[in-house]
Amino acid sequence: MAKPKNFTLIQLDRIIEMAWEDRTPFEAIKLQFGLPEKEVIKVMRGNLKESSFKRWRKRVHSGVSQKHLHKRSPEISRFKCTRQRAISGNKISKR
């Protein structure tokens, strides 16, 4: 397993925000921050209250969330909103 990365508070906040978003898949978090799903779960477990973490996990595994690309409609070919670059400050286009 890779050594855990040290993230700034801003990066950590963005990871948590992306994890809560229903339409942001884990693959997008991995692409932007290098965190696989298991590491995102650890980040969420360590930074949320227990009840919030349980609610998040339940939502991720429900039919509402599209956190996994295989659960998404094939018509959706993007994984970020049009304002994502401005929000994250990322200079690399994901399309």
pLDDT one-digit tens code per residue, 61-78: 876 666 656 555 666 565
Residue span of the structural domain in which 37 resides = 9-66
- What would the two tokens of residue 28 be? 């997008």
Q: Is the dihedral of CA 15, 7, 89, 2 positive or negative?
A: negative
Residue 56 located in a structural domain: yes
Contact between residue 62 and residue 55 where contact means Cβ atoms under 8 Å apart = no
Question: 87 pLDDT exceeds 50?
Answer: yes
The pLDDT of residue 36 is 93
Residue 94 lies in a domain: no
In whole angstroms, give the CA distance from residue 29 to residue 87: 14
Whether 1 is covered by a domain: the verdict is no
* Rounded CA Rg of the chain: 13
Total count of domains within the chain: 1
